[in-house]
Amino acid sequence: MENPCLLLVDDDQDVLQTFKLWLEEEGYLVYTATSKKEALTVLEEYPIAVCLIDLKMKDEDGLQISRELKRIDDLLKIIIITGYPTYETAIDAMKMGFFDYISKSSESREILERIEKAVNARQSDITVKTGGTEGRQNIILVCHHAMIKEGFEKFCRDEPTYNLMHAYHSFDYIKNSDFNNKASLVLVCVPCNQNHLENPIKASSQLKFYFPHARLVMINSHFSDGEKKELVKLGVKGFLPKNTTKDNMKKAFESVLRGQMWVSRKVTQQLLSELLTKTSDIKYRNPGNKYHLSNREVEILQAMASGLSNVEIANKLYISEKTVKAHIYHIFKKMEVKSRTQAIMEAVKAHII
C-alpha cells in the first residue's frame, strides 16, 4: 500500500510543523491547514486517509470543520486532538461519528497506534464500499437530495448485483479517490449540478477524468431530445427520471452495462440518421463483408437504420413479418449483437451500410 496521506488542521504553526516533521519521519505523506478553507482545499486535491484536527482554534471550531470535511468524504477518518481533553467533549466527538479523540500530550507511540488504526479502518471501509465480492457493479451518485440517495441505497440493498459505493453532493466535491477506477456507473442528478451541466463538454470531460471506466447516466425528466442527443455524443449512456421505478432502473442499468444506450427510440434514430448521412457516400459491400451477410440481410439492415418497424420492412420488401424476424435473428447471430441499435452501429463501422 502507498504511504497514507494525513491532513493536520491547527492554527498553531509550531504544532503543525512539529507534528508534520515527526509523522513524515514515520513514513506518512503529511499536509497541513490552518483553517476550514485551507482544509477543504487540501481534501479536494489529495487522497487524505486520516485527518487530525485541533478541537479549539482561535476563530474556528474543530468539530464544525470536521463535519464539513465529512460532507466531502464520508470515509475520511477524523481524529480530534486537543490540549484540554474532557470526557464530555470526547463523547460529543464520538456521537458525531468521528473516529477518535486524543490529547496532544499523549505519548508518541499511542498517537501512532491511533493513526494506524484509523488508516486500517478506512481501508476496510473502502473494501466494503467497492463491493467486497467479485462481480458486483459499483455505483457513484452525484446528488445532494437525501431522498434520492436513500432510494438508491435501498435499491442496492434489494439488488445485490449493485453497490452504492459513494455519494458526492455535487461536482464541487468530486476528487481523486481510492475507488474511482472501480466505478461501473456514475449517476448525475441534473438539478443538483445545473451550473456545471450548462457546459456539458467540460462536465463530461471532468467525469471521464475522475471515473475513466464508468458509464454515465443522467437523472432528469426535462431534457429535450436535442439536448439528449448532444449529451449522448459526449458519452452519456442513458437518462432516468427522478421518479423512475425499481424495475425500470434495473433494466436501464443492465442495458447500459451491456454497452447499450438507455434513450428513447426517437433520439437513437436522430443519432443514427446523422451517422448514416456522414457515411452516405460509402456503398455496402456484399456478400464480401466481414460478417458474410446476404444481400437480403443487408437490405433489412438498411431498413432498420431508416427506423422502419418489422411490419414496415415486410411491406417494403414484399415478404412476411415472420421472414423479417428470421432475417434479423440471423443478422444478430452473425454480428454477435443483441439489439437493433448495436447491429446498425456495427454495420456503419464496418461500412456495410
Partnered with residue 9 across adjacent β-strands are 33, 53
Is 117 contained in some domain? Answer: yes
Are residues 86 and 137 located together in one domain of the fold?
A: no
Are residues 88 and 110 located together in one domain of the fold?
A: yes
pLDDT score of 280: 47
Are residues 218 and 278 located together in one domain of the fold?
A: no
Are residues 183 and 250 located together in one domain of the fold?
A: yes
Are residues 122 and 140 located together in one domain of the fold?
A: no
Is 87 contained in some domain? Answer: yes
CATH code, 304:
1.10.10.10
Cell numbers given for 3: 504511504
CA atoms within 13 A of residue 249's CA, in its CB half-sphere: 22
Beta strand pairing status for 48-54 and 185-189?
Answer: unpaired
Cell numbers given for 181: 477506477
- Residue corresponding to grid cell 443519432: 271
pLDDT score of 94: 55
Cα 347–chain centre separation:
31
pLDDT score of 46: 85
Q: What is the DSSP letter of 172?
A: G
Are residues 13 and 100 located together in one domain of the fold?
A: yes
Residue 305 structural domain: 273-349
Q: d(Cα 260, Cα 237) in Å, to the nearest integer? A: 7
pLDDT score of 30: 94
User: H/E element holding 124?
Assistant: helix 108-129
- How would you write the pLDDT of the chain (353 residues) with one tens digit per residue? 468 899 999 998 988 999 999 999 988 999 999 999 999 999 888 889 999 998 888 888 888 888 888 888 888 899 988 776 554 554 555 556 678 888 878 888 889 998 998 988 888 777 666 555 456 788 888 887 878 888 888 888 888 888 888 888 777 777 666 556 678 899 888 777 666 666 666 677 777 777 877 888 988 767 777 777 777 777 788 888 888 888 888 888 988 887 777 876 666 566 555 655 554 444 444 444 678 888 888 889 888 877 788 888 888 888 888 899 999 999 999 998 888 878 887 887 777 87
3-class DSSP assignment, residue 169: coil
Q: What is the pTM of this model?
A: 0.48
Number of H helices, E strands in the chain: 15, 10
Provide the b/e sequence for 4-28 (b: ≥16 CB within 10 Å).
bbbbbbbbeeebbeebbeebeeeeb
Distances (CA, A) of 107 to 69, 111, 114, 338, 353: 27, 7, 11, 64, 75
Is 268 contained in some domain? Answer: no
CATH code, 27:
3.40.50.2300
